[in-house]
Structure 1
Amino acid sequence: WEKYMQIEGDAGLEVRVPIEAGPHLVGVYFVRELWEPEGLPQPLQRGRVITDDQVYMDYANVGAVLIGGPFTSTGTAKDTPSRRAIFVCYPKQPAEESACATRILSRIARLAYRRPVTPQDAQTLVEFFNNGRRDGGTFDAGIQFALERLLVDPDFLLRVHRDAKQSEAIYRLSDLEIASRLSFFLWSSIPDERLLDLAERGQLSNPQTLERETRRMLADPRAIDSLVTTFAGQWLNLRRVEETVVDPQRYPNYDESLLEGFQRETELFIASTIREDRSVADLLNADYTFVNERLARHYGIPGVYGSRFRRVTLSNHDQRGGLLAQGALLATTSYPDRTSPVLRGKFLFNNILGLNVPPPPAGVDTNLTDKPGSAPKTIREKLAQHRTNPTCNGCHSVIDPLGFTLENFDVIGGWRTVDEAGRPVDATGETLGGAKIEGLRGLRALLLDDPEQFPRTVTEKLMAYALGRRVEYYDRPAIRKIVHDAAAQNYRWSSLISGIVKSPSFLMRSRG
């Protein structure tokens, strides 16, 4: 069994199939057999495998599909989107090959390097083309070899900032560097032809042109995809959703499809606020979400059928609405068998209020497990005992009350009125000033009481993402100005992003 699972299990799963050139949709599935168990498969448990007998767990799945080739090709290559993007010319006779190769490679190198191509750049790539043409025997083989060289060039792999020639310690980025910074900020990719053309002509130094290009790029679907999957994935820990482990004994209705639904819901929700250019405050206070039948049933939303996600208006805003009531955030801030006001409170402080919470001091006992033979305690009782330690009280007196306000949500985001200890849920918290916070509604009111607080946090997170570094003290004046100016537009996504792009932190750089 061990040999099969570790060595032989994938034998026979590699196949070669004839296929025509061009885009294709590839799917992999299991053929249903009579012995396959009926009912809902149990979730694949993640984490360290203790014994080899625990590997299979009666739940086969496809972990990845790798596609390679072509191994043998016959006939003339067909016209495909990828070939059209590369072969802007094609030689009709050998004498035309060098000029055509230079044209193809210079054009692609300009986009890949995000700058004008130098004669040395072109010469290097043409030399690789000649070698590939000689060894491969075809024009296409030469282009392929040259492109392989281009894809390992440091100017493609790295975003290189070259210090300005002048002696100033702080200087403005070149238009080409701004174009790269802008495209990677909004698209997570290289500048397109239009942006690169403007940068080469020095027109991104014009604030009106930069503003217009920012809004053009933000309206592109690539911006929404990038900001949701990359920015929000980092900011809200959405990348950890698929790593969530849930105790199947305590939560037998949990399965992988629910976990996938959590992530899809939050991604669609954030995408809608960006696409509609809504206020970032709607991330906390919106009265709608996106669900399919599986997720709607879990949330108790009637009238939703099928696997397709659709937008629904929420009738009970005290229980659902906004990021804080979505399963993705609630599951990733819980333990497998119980909720954690500490993890949820820390998440709120770090990611919603934008305040740093230090890790617990070394040597502090963080174990909240009930002692054998003792009556189960509520999490509130356990944390109250924990706060009797002066070392712990400094942070927990601030973190815990915020986390308590989400106690109506269980480990997988379901609404509950009874906790793990079988006691009625107490979802109240208290601020340091003594004000009482009542559940989700009270938490929302607290977070939005200062209209600049949450937009400032979003701006800080966006700024760090755009710059590829953490926000420093010298960025704070720019952030305050961005948020202040965005108030006139109700803190819409576009106003915050445009403010970041026009800020000194984005346009300037310090030497060294």
Structure 2
Amino acid sequence: MVILVPQGADTQVLPVPPVPSTMQAFNAVVSTGRKGPLTEGASMVRRRDESRRRVAGQTGGRLLTAAVCAVVLAGAAVGTAAAQTAADASPRAVFDRYCVTCHNDRLQTGGLTLAATSVDADDPSRHADVWERVIGKLRTGAMPPPGNARPDAATYDAVASRLEAAIDRAAAANPDPGRTSTVHRLNRTEYRNAIRDLLALDLDVTPLLPGDETSDTGFDNNADVLSISTAQLERYLSAARTITRLATGLPPASPGFETFDVPLLLLQDERQDESLPLGSRGGVAIPHYFPVDGEYLIKLELRTNWQDYILGMGSEHQLDVRIDGELVKRFTVGGEARGQPAPVTFTIAEPGDPEWEAYLQTADENLEVRVPVAAGPRVVGISFVRNVREPEGILKPRQAGELLSNDEVYHGNAAVSAVGIGGPYDVTGPGDTPSRRAIFSCRPETADAADERACAAEIVSRLARRAYRRPVTAEDVDTLLGFYESGRESGGSFDAGIQLALERVLVDPDFLLRITRDPEGTAPGAPYRLSDVEIASRLSFFLWGTVPDDALLDAAEAGRLTEPAVLEAQVRRMLADPRADSLIDDFAMQWLHLRNLEDVKGDPVPYPDFDDNLVEAFRHETTLLLTSMLRDDRSVVDLLDADYTFVNERLARHYGIPGVYGSRFRRVTLPDRQERGGLLGQGSLLALTSYPTRTSPVLRGKWLLDTILGAPPPSPPADVPALPERGEGSRTTSVRERLERHRQAPACATCHASIDPPGFALEQFDGLGAWRTRDEFGNVIDATATMPNGRTVEGMAGLRALLLERPEQFAGTVTEKLLSYALGRGLEHTDKPTVRAIVRDAATDDYRWSALIAGIVKSPAFLMRNAAAE
């Protein structure tokens, strides 16, 4: 549940003792690695004026050039134009015969020379960065280019294996864990999760904190894009004040009011949420935090058409307001409620009765209720009582996205447009909330200052330990108690003192930043093992996206994480915890680019079935599939070949799966594995890689190369012409025909030869992932695809079968993505041996999620770090 903070939340500034400036403290951390003092300062519903900052990741910095896109599909036999055999395949002989014609000291094609005078093929560890590039090309069969003499498949494998073995032996003897950033700011998700676990306050911090950028790695937890500035720090100071006042139950200075908008394209003909009652339709469920016991105002707005007339008022509707499922008010709106007949016509050319004219613009003016609510997290449910009557006559098809005249929409369903929540009024107390129970683990036995200080010391030391992810010192506690005493004096209560001390905790560098300090005496550039508390912090942010819990901190402070059995036991415990859903919500959603689903739009002409309900169903399906895979500890390869999925009635109807009714999602076995199965047949990914008006083999091919095979193609040249939408003249050609003409341009041919084939194999899915045999112009779908190695596959089933021939390739991609996410940095050539070792070990356990994750946690890259160079 996500709690939304009222815009009117109090931000009163309390006086604090004078201390050095905030930026001085942060500068001290950044420049010296030492801690310095610091001064004071879900949902389908969308908060009004909410902004989200997204910086698209670039696709530069590739180790692989465009030719490596042939990765797709080097899975079967690589064509051979030469008779070189694996038995006598000396790496140097192979390179001299097939490669140095282009990659020599004079030409250096692609910026690469493989001449014996420049690189040593017998000791590849001496130039590991070069040979890792070569290995990538060998493993994919990308080089030599098509049309040139090539070794056979066994030789490709033998040479690559020899190079890998030599590099891996050297890496094992001299581990190079790489250098992670000294200072790594918490991103918004990590901050939100930390507040949830520290203060039992599940808070949507999006409007409170600065936005996060996404790095070239595709993840928003990369330290390179998580710096901190003075302007950002001011936002953190304000957020800390808002959060701690909510958590401690201090009343706001004045009532606030916040409006939550319901998306325009969200249909409200069915039950919207599991928290809404059976027999309801439409509306919305809003998780909301009520800061104190008191009265609150709930105000409703109904959806209007383009002329601002409220929809559906030609018949009576009952509209319920519930809090945590309990009915607090039922409104009746609509024509029958007023005892008036519906107008015969109601268009702009023929206005209806003046009274009705006014009513259709003001019917929701008095849809508000003021109700007492106990403090804490609640669900405000707004829904209509479902009317089981059906209108007579011939039903018209829904005309989504088009302007409807009033007589066409007059008798439709009413819908909620927005919900406003205001308050508190007539405050009666702070209430008994989960946050107050988590914070106030003790209460002073008397009003004596010594008793209060002792209790305050217990509270702040306990919470600071988890917030700072390390043992707290006497100096830490004294600093926090100074803030407690200032707040106690100015606020007039023990609770006010605790609030200011917690505000200080939340703006401490040791909370906002993940700080790693090189041990004294470590030689510059030398690798060293992280301390146990640093490993605990890295582990908790990897698996949970939040601060360590007491069990993990206890093990770290006791020095037990150096024991492999203890570390493995902690990993298994943490994966079984619900907080491990962070691997789905944060890692997987970014890896698969599913956070961009909110940008998916469908043109109503080719896709009249499009609405926000369908997009949300897509998201839910993929989330449930990923969650089931992780919870059941399935092989990651099953993501490509799952014979089941999760659907509700809306999605089942879209997929053509019979026998599914209701809004609840349930697991179903797929009836036709040729049409569906695994990620490649999921509507979320198929819609994400399409345009609003048509499919895009290019977008789908790029997504597969990047996400499934870990070989993103380079960015296109700046002057690439756009693909015609229909073809030349009046002829409506297929996307395949248009792309074939596009590929005739020399600047486009090389990349498209690798990108387009996997996209063509998915052409039997339309732009919203529905199965089809003809495109929007009536052209028969051709889903055959000829891969760069000459192999032909037929449709999604053929593409999936080809990918499954090399399961280690997909497992390697998942491992690379997971390792980058775990380390909070992009991978380098020095990380390749680590990835190969993890995949080799995981192969004995069928590439299960737990095997890959355990391999990462036990790796030198995770447990070690290089000291700063001089």
Distance 2:495 2:398 in 1: 48
Match of 2:470 in 1: 115
* Correspondences of 1:199-210 after superposition (within 5 Å): 199-210=556-567
TM superposition shift of 1:222: 1.2
Q: Secondary structure at the match of 1:290?
A: strand
Structure 1 residue corresponding to 2:774, chosen from 399, 404, 418: 418
Give yes or no for the alignment of 1:276 onto 2:632. yes
Match of 1:378 in 2: 734
Asked if the contact 1:41/1:59 (under 8 Å) is kept, the reply is: no
Give yes or no for the alignment of 1:159 onto 2:514. yes
Match of 2:649 in 1: 293
* Correspondences of 1:240-259 after superposition (within 5 Å): 240-259=596-615
Distance 1:27 1:97 in 2: 41
Asked if the contact 1:287/1:321 (under 8 Å) is kept, the reply is: yes
1:123–1:487 CA distance, 2 compared to 1 (3 A): same
Distance 2:647 2:828 in 1: 39
Match of 1:141 in 2: 496
Distance 2:787 2:745 in 1: 20
Match of 1:93 in 2: 446
Give yes or no for the alignment of 1:25 onto 2:382. no
Match of 1:83 in 2: 436
Asked if the contact 1:42/1:255 (under 8 Å) is kept, the reply is: no
TM superposition shift of 1:43: 6.2
Distance 1:411 1:354 in 2: 24
Structure 2 residue corresponding to 1:367, chosen from 723, 728, 749: 723
Match of 1:181 in 2: 538
Structure 1 residue corresponding to 2:701, chosen from 336, 345, 355: 345
Show structure 2 runs of 5+ residues with no match.
1-47, 50-257, 261-296, 300-367, 403-412
Match of 2:794 in 1: 438
Distance 1:64 1:384 in 2: 51
Distance 1:262 1:342 in 2: 21
**1:309-353 C-alpha deviation (Å, 9 max, x unpaired):** 000001200101111100000000000000000000000000001
TM-score by length of 1: 0.90
Distance 2:613 2:742 in 1: 36
TM superposition shift of 1:446: 1.2
Name the aligned partner's letter for residue 630 of structure 2.
I
Larger Rg: 2
**1:271-301 C-alpha deviation (Å, 9 max, x unpaired):** 0000000000110101000000000011000
Distance 1:27 1:131 in 2: 41
Distance 2:728 2:485 in 1: 76
**1:161-189 C-alpha deviation (Å, 9 max, x unpaired):** 11221323222111111101100111111
Give yes or no for the alignment of 1:125 onto 2:483. no
Distance 1:144 1:69 in 2: 21
Structure 1 residue corresponding to 2:838, chosen from 461, 479, 482: 482
Distance 1:93 1:259 in 2: 57
1:369–1:155 CA distance, 2 compared to 1 (3 A): same
Asked if the contact 2:727/2:733 (under 8 Å) is kept, the reply is: no
Asked if the contact 1:327/1:413 (under 8 Å) is kept, the reply is: yes
TM superposition shift of 1:473: 0.8
Name the aligned partner's letter for residue 451 of structure 1.
P
Show structure 1 runs of 5+ residues with no match.
46-57
Distance 1:140 1:256 in 2: 44
Distance 2:423 2:510 in 1: 27
TM superposition shift of 1:78: 4.1
Match of 1:232 in 2: 588
Name the aligned partner's letter for residue 25 of structure 1.
V
1:63–1:70 CA distance, 2 compared to 1 (3 A): closer
1:403–1:371 CA distance, 2 compared to 1 (3 A): closer
Residue-pair matches, total = 488
Name the aligned partner's letter for residue 354 of structure 1.
G
Higher mean alpha-carbon deviation, 181-190 vs 363-372, is at: 363-372
Q: Secondary structure at the match of 1:317?
A: coil
Name the aligned partner's letter for residue 18 of structure 1.
P
TM superposition shift of 1:373: 3.0
The answer to which structure has the higher strand fraction is 2
**1:232-278 C-alpha deviation (Å, 9 max, x unpaired):** 11001111112201101111111111111000000000000000000
Distance 1:379 1:424 in 2: 11
**1:88-120 C-alpha deviation (Å, 9 max, x unpaired):** 111021221000001100000000010011222
1:29–1:208 CA distance, 2 compared to 1 (3 A): same
1:442–1:263 CA distance, 2 compared to 1 (3 A): same
TM superposition shift of 1:372: 6.3
Distance 1:511 1:42 in 2: 63
TM-score by length of 2: 0.54
Distance 1:25 1:381 in 2: 52
1:186–1:40 CA distance, 2 compared to 1 (3 A): farther
Q: Secondary structure at the match of 1:358?
A: coil
1:420–1:39 CA distance, 2 compared to 1 (3 A): closer
Name the aligned partner's letter for residue 500 of structure 2.
F
Structure 2 residue corresponding to 1:216, chosen from 570, 573, 580: 573
Match of 2:851 in 1: 495
Asked if the contact 1:284/1:322 (under 8 Å) is kept, the reply is: yes
Distance 1:68 1:83 in 2: 22
Name the aligned partner's letter for residue 787 of structure 2.
T
Asked if the contact 1:467/1:506 (under 8 Å) is kept, the reply is: yes
Q: Secondary structure at the match of 1:143?
A: helix
Asked if the contact 2:298/2:422 (under 8 Å) is kept, the reply is: no
Q: Secondary structure at the match of 2:373?
A: coil
| Percent sequence identity over aligned pairs | 58
Match of 1:51 in 2: none
TM superposition shift of 1:25: 2.1
Q: Secondary structure at the match of 1:258?
A: helix
Asked if the contact 1:278/1:492 (under 8 Å) is kept, the reply is: yes
Higher mean alpha-carbon deviation, 149-158 vs 402-411, is at: 149-158
Distance 2:821 2:401 in 1: 33
TM superposition shift of 1:41: 7.7
Name the aligned partner's letter for residue 216 of structure 1.
R
Match of 1:260 in 2: 616
Give yes or no for the alignment of 1:307 onto 2:663. yes
Asked if the contact 1:42/1:59 (under 8 Å) is kept, the reply is: no
Higher relative contact order (CA 8 A, sep 6+): 2
Name the aligned partner's letter for residue 19 of structure 1.
V
**1:158-217 C-alpha deviation (Å, 9 max, x unpaired):** 111112213232221111111011001111110000000111111111111111101110
Q: Secondary structure at the match of 1:25?
A: strand
Match of 2:53 in 1: none
Distance 2:414 2:822 in 1: 41
1:59–1:407 CA distance, 2 compared to 1 (3 A): farther
TM superposition shift of 1:124: 1.5
Q: Please tell me the root mean square deviation across aligned C-alpha atoms, in Å.
A: 2.7
Name the aligned partner's letter for residue 547 of structure 2.
I
TM superposition shift of 1:22: 3.8
Asked if the contact 2:614/2:651 (under 8 Å) is kept, the reply is: yes
Distance 1:323 1:239 in 2: 16
Name the aligned partner's letter for residue 247 of structure 1.
D
TM superposition shift of 1:79: 3.6
